[in-house]
Amino acid sequence: MALKVMIVDDSLFMRKMLRDILVEDGYEIADEASDGVEAVAKYKECLPDLVTLDIVMPNKTGIEALQEIMAYDAGARVVMCSAIGQEALTAAATEAGAKAFILKPFNPELVTRVLREVAQG
Amino acid sequence: MDMSQYKALFLSESREYLRTIAEQVVALEQSPGERSAVDALFRGAHSLKGMAASMEYGDVVVVAHSMEDLMARVRDGATPFDAGVADLLLEGVDLIDVLLQDVEQERPSTLPTGDFAQRLATYAPAAPKAAPAEQAEAQGAAADAVPSPAPTGPAPSATAAEAAPPAPEAEKAKEPAGEAGGTVRVKTELLDHLINLTGELVTNKQRLLTIAGELASPALNDAISETAKLLRSLHDEVMKVRLMPFEAISDRFQRSVRSVAKKSGKEIHFELTGREIGLDRGMLEQLVDPLNHILRNAVDHGIEESGERERAGKPARGTVRLAVTRDRDRIQITVRDDGRGMEPATMIAAAIAKGILTPEEGELLSPRQALMLSCIPGFSTAKEVTDISGRGVGMDAVNAAIQKLGGTLGIESEPGVGTTITLRLPLTIAIIHALVVQVGQVKAAIPVNAVQRTVELSRRQIETMGKRQMFQLDDEAIPLLSLNRVLGLPLGRFPDGILPLFVTEARGRRVGIVVDRLLGQHELFVKQLGRPLSKLAGVAGGATLGDGEIVAILDLAGLL
């Protein structure tokens, strides 16, 4: 059965691109969210197998959303996505429970490889 | 990965971010220190950069990156948000806007972006308020943040590192509307097709009505009246889909007021209300120039210099308010300034001096009509034409543009207190109610907003004053004009001695326009004329009547 992924990014462009990459690789898109608050709420609703989570977002940052998701579901498998320059946040995200980091702009092969690794634990 | 499929989405979303950035810059200038605006600005530039990097548009990346960096410094308190920062960010918005146009047209960009990036990276406030030590630190941070020379290749990962921690919570800052809660994006052409189809149905309904009139079948009449009701609902729904919030164009006004104020050295407080009110998207585009002109006039001619204001006991800072409201099926837009106002007597004197009015005509004008003199071509009360309000295009062009949209323009003014310009506009420009008239062998339509009333005048009521023929209406002498003569058609005969006419306002005065016959009010679906007919002055478009006959829709402001 296809794994369900939730995509979180405030940019529609980024969500669309990621969605196309993931669908092409056989994932099912559980839901999409455009800010941190929505991400937490939708996570609880659809309980996806994987989450791609942007960092710079309105209402609640990706790091804050990650903390709340992990507090709700310690087994959540969240991959952080962010543009170049946010590497400094890797430590904070890892500490909060992020399983991996993907840099934007998205490289389809890299995205699918990282997600596959995270999915397989 | 084939990125071309994302180009349209990239362009539309990037433009939304540009709009957000421009809005937030102006908002920050009005209330500096607004944390949510600072964060939204940072995010806007950050998202733009990320998208452009994905599309491999290196120039956009460079500009957006430098804007993001500058905002990171503002957010972290290293650089205060001052007018210099605002200028640079708005310059960046303009720069990216041009780059996006290049992308859209698929032409290589020739804009140099490196210099802009450099200026942002090294920007330091003119009058530093920070303590010396802090300042030095800020400068150091700025130097660190200088991106390595603009990347020439499309690989943005080669740009310098940025030290931008995530933006903390922002509450009310506006974000570009994504695909939130059950909404979809559709192409604008689809909306145009919808309104076209609805318009054609309206025309067809008129045709059915004509046929039903000939057949006198009650069953057919019932069916048509039911269809008419459904059509009206369909029309309303389609119109709603075409509505776009006023804010789609409003950021330009904030910026233009800001720039005129700066050029003329005036302090202006600009207020905008009703940005959420929906207007027909076709109309929105055509409102930009007229509103810009009215606003520029308000700042440039309406608001006094601060010294003059203080002497008059007014706050040194002038206020210009732009308000959009909706009242059932009309949109009202007012531009109100608290400037010097206009004196009707001065307007009349100027019009007489310019030979636009005779002194006798001047005496007949009401104060309201006197103010409308400013809408006559070639009339301007400003002592000198400044660079800012522009030459050539005056209130006459504004008035003509508003009339073309089926709207009206009103001016109210109190000397020393200020001026209010009110635009009243229909919700739609595609389907209008019009008075259809017969002139010679042709039929013509006049939008009802331009018609004050219709009159059937007996020849005996016509008075001749000099070369002019006039008649009395509400104790006012109204000159008569023949539409046949204006259009170069044979003059009407009127064997029964009754002249059908309608009263309209031209050049700030009422005139009676005589036609051969008044054929009644019709609901018309306006179609724009193609070239070369679209160049014809005085014709706003065409429409098909129920019997299939084509009528020209007259633009009286352009015709008379």
- A55/B166 Cβ within 8 A: yes
Q: Is residue B527 part of a domain?
A: yes
pLDDT at B139 over 80: no
**Measured in Å, how far apart are chain A's first and last C-alpha atoms?**
17
Residue in A37, A56, A59 to test binding to B, most B beta-carbons within 10 Å: A56
Work out how many domains chain B is built from and give that number: 4
- A106/B54 Cβ within 8 A: yes
**Beta B463-465 vs B468-473: how paired, if at all?**
antiparallel
Q: Is B291 helix (H, G, I), strand (E, B) or coil?
A: helix
- Angle value at C-alpha B435, between B559 and B545, nearest 5 degrees: 105
B422/B459 same-domain check: no
End position of a domain, from candidates B204, B229, B244 = B244
Interface of B with A in 44-73 (CB under 8 A): 46-47, 49-51, 53-54, 56
**Which range of residues forms the domain containing residue B298?**
246-380+392-426
Please report, for the domain that includes residue B524, its CATH number. 2.40.50.180
Q: Is B434 helix (H, G, I), strand (E, B) or coil?
A: strand
Q: Which two tokens stand for residue B402?
A: 């508003």
Chain B residues with beta carbon closer than 8 angstroms to that of A14? 47, 50-51, 54
Q: Least CA distance to A90: which residue of chain B?
A: B165
What is the least distance, in Å, from the CA of B151 to any CA of chain A? 14
B344/B407 same-domain check: yes
**Beta B268-273 vs B318-327: how paired, if at all?**
parallel
B82/B202 same-domain check: no
Please report, for the domain that includes residue B100, its CATH number. 1.20.120.160
- A106/B46 Cβ within 8 A: no
B469/B402 same-domain check: no
Chain A residues with beta carbon closer than 8 angstroms to that of B156? 84, 105
Comparing CA positions, the residue from B483, B503, B488, B449 lying closest to residue B560 is B483
Comparing CA positions, the residue from B159, B529, B167 lying closest to residue A89 is B167
What is the value of ipTM here, to two decimals? Answer: 0.89
Phi, psi of B434 (to 5 degrees): -140, 150
Q: Is residue B479 part of a domain?
A: yes
Q: Is B165 helix (H, G, I), strand (E, B) or coil?
A: coil
- B166/A86 Cβ within 8 A: yes
pLDDT score of B144 = 41
pLDDT score of B384 = 44
| Contacts of B533 by beta carbon, 8 Å cutoff, 6+ apart | B539
Tell me the pLDDT tens digit for each residue of B295-350.
Answer: 988 998 889 998 899 999 999 899 999 999 987 667 899 999 999 888 888 888 88
Q: Residue A29 corresponds to which amino acid?
A: I
B210/B262 same-domain check: no
- What is the distance between the alpha carbons of residues B406 and B400, in angstroms, rounded to a whole number? 10
B253/B376 same-domain check: yes
Tell me the pLDDT tens digit for each residue of A5-35.
Answer: 999 999 999 999 999 999 999 999 999 999 9
Q: Output the CA–CA distances (angstroms, integers) from residue B127 to B86, B132, B142, B144, B337, in the order listed.
A: 15, 12, 16, 22, 32
The percentage of chain A sitting over the pLDDT mark of 70, rounded to a whole number, equals: 96
pLDDT score of B501 = 94
Q: Is residue B485 part of a domain?
A: yes
pLDDT at B151 over 50: no
Whole-model pTM above 0.90? no
Asked if the A4-120 domain carries CATH number 3.40.50.2300, the reply is: yes
Q: Which two tokens stand for residue A2?
A: 């296809």
Q: Enumerate the H helices of B456-560 as residue ranges.
A: 483-487, 556-559
Q: Is residue B179 part of a domain?
A: no
Comparing CA positions, the residue from B485, B473, B478, B476 lying closest to residue B512 is B478
- A61/B40 Cβ within 8 A: no
Chain B residues with beta carbon closer than 8 angstroms to that of A103? 157
B317/B446 same-domain check: no
Beta strands in B388-497 (DSSP E): 408-414, 418-426, 431-439, 442-447, 453-458, 463-465, 468-473, 476-482
